[in-house]
Amino acid sequence: MSPKNTGVYLCSGCGIGDAVSMGSLEKIATKEFKKSCKTNACLCGEEGLETIRADLAGGVNQVVIAACSPRAMTDRFRFNGTQVIRTNLREQVVWSHPANDEDTQMMAEDNIRIAITEAAKSTPPEPKVEGEYSQVVLVVGGGHSGLTAAREASKAGYEVLLVERASQLGGMAAKWSKRMPVRPPYQDPQPNTVATLVKAVEADSRITVKTGCTVAKTSGMPGRFTVEFSDGSSQTVGAFVVATGWRPYDARKLGHLGYGVSPDVVTNVEMEEMLAKGPVVRRSDGKAPGVVVFVQCAGSRDPNHLPYCSSVCCGVSIKQALQLREADPQVMVYIVYEELRTPGVAEEFYRTAQRSGVIFIKGTVKTVDAALTVTVDDAMLQQEIPLSGVDMVVLATGMVPNSTNVEAEAPEVEEEKLRPLKSDINPYAPFAVAGTGAPPLTPPEEKLPEGAPLLNLQYRQGPHLPMLAHGFPDSHYICFPYETRRSGIYVAGPVRRPMDMGEAAEDATGATMKAIQAIHNAAYGLALHPRAGDLSLPIIGLNQCTKCRRCTVECPFGAIDETDQGFPQVNSTRCRRCGTCMGACPVRTISFTNYTVDMLGSMIKAVNIPDETEEKPRILVLACENDAYPALDMMGIARHQFSAHIRIIPVRCLGSVSMLLISDALSVGYDGVMLMGCKPGDDYQCHFIKGSGIAKERMSKVGDTLKSMALEAERVTVAEVSIADSGRLPKVIQDFVEMLDTFGPNPFKGF
Instruction: Give residue 718's pLDDT.
Output: 93
User: Are 332 and 343 within one domain?
Assistant: yes
pLDDT computed for residue 1 by the predictor = 62
Asked if the structure places residue 130 within a domain, the reply is no
Q: What is the pLDDT of residue 522?
A: 95
Enumerate the H helices of 589-648 as residue ranges.
Answer: 597-605, 628-637
- For range 414-429, the mean pLDDT: 35
pLDDT at 448 over 70: no
pLDDT at residue 709 in the model = 85
pLDDT digits (tens, 9 = 90+) for 252-287: 999 999 999 999 999 999 999 999 998 999 999 999
| Residue 451: predicted pLDDT | 63
Phi, psi of 225 (to 5 degrees): -75, 130
Residue 750 has pLDDT above 80, yes or no: no
CATH classification of the domain holding 580: 3.30.70.20
Give the pLDDT band of residue 345 (cuts 50, 70, 90). Answer: confident
From 90, 124, 158, give the residue that closes a domain: 124
Q: Do 254 and 114 belong to one domain? A: no
Mean pLDDT of the chain: 90
- CA-nearest of 287, 251, 286 to 266 is 251
Q: Is the pLDDT of residue 93 over 50?
A: yes
Q: Identify the weakest region by mean pLDDT among 240-254, 301-315, 466-480, 669-683.
A: 466-480
Same domain, 658 and 689: yes
Considering the domain architecture, whether residues 357 and 484 belong to the same structural domain is answered as no
pLDDT for res 388? 95
Q: List the strands of the sheet with 234-237, edge to edge.
A: 215-219, 225-229, 234-237
Alpha helical stretches, state H, 419-566: 501-524, 550-554
48 within a domain of the structure (yes/no):
yes
Pair (562, 687) in one structural domain? no
pLDDT at 390 over 50: yes
CATH number of the structural domain spanning residue 117: 3.40.50
| 702 pLDDT more than 60 | yes
The rounded Cα 718 to chain-centroid distance in angstroms is 21
Residues 652 and 723 in one domain: yes
Please provide the DSSP assignment of 229-281 as one string. Answer: ETTS-EEEESEEEE---EEE--GGG-GGGTBTTBTTEEEHHHHHHHHHHSS--
| CA atoms of 686 and 476, how far apart (whole Å) | 8
How do the residues of the chain divide into helix, strand and coil, expressed in percent and rounded to 5?
Answer: 30, 20, 45
On whether both 516 and 556 belong to a single domain, the answer is no
Q: What pLDDT does residue 244 have?
A: 96
From 550, 572, 590, the end of a domain falls on 590
Same domain, 242 and 255: no
Domain span at residue 560 reads: 539-590
Say how far apart CA 91 and CA 73 lie, in whole Å.
13
255 and 391 within one domain: yes
Tell me how far CA of residue 610 lies from CA of 106, 614, 697, in angstroms: 10, 6, 32
Residues 496, 517 within the same domain: yes
Q: What span, in angstroms and rounded, lies between the C-alpha atoms of 223 and 473?
A: 21
Q: What is the mean pLDDT of residues 696-700?
A: 85
Q: What's the average model confidence in pLDDT over 90-100? A: 97
CA separation for the pair 219, 212 (Å, rounded): 22
Give the residue from 478, 496, 524 where a domain finishes.
Answer: 524
**Of 319, 276, 296, residue with least CA distance to 500:** 319
pLDDT in tens, 509-548: 999 999 999 999 999 999 998 998 899 999 999 999 999 9
Q: Are 719 and 672 in contact (CB under 8 A)?
A: no
Residue 36 pLDDT: 96
Please indicate, yes or no, if residue 389 is contained in any of the structural domains: yes
Please name the helix (run of DSSP H) or strand (run of DSSP E) that holds residue 49, with its range, or none.
helix 46-57
Q: What percent of the chain has pLDDT over 90?
A: 79
List the single range of 28-42, 381-395, 472-486, 723-737 with lowest mean pLDDT. Answer: 472-486
pLDDT surpasses 90 at 445 = no
Domain count of the fold of the chain: 5
**Residue-level pLDDT at 477:** 65
How many other CB atoms are found less than 10 A from the CB of residue 20? 26
Give me the pLDDT at residue 406, please. 60
Q: Is the confidence at residue 411, as pLDDT, over 70?
A: no
pLDDT bracket for residue 332 (50, 70, 90) = very high
Q: Are residues 84 and 160 in the same domain?
A: no
* CATH number (domain holding residue 366): 3.50.50.60
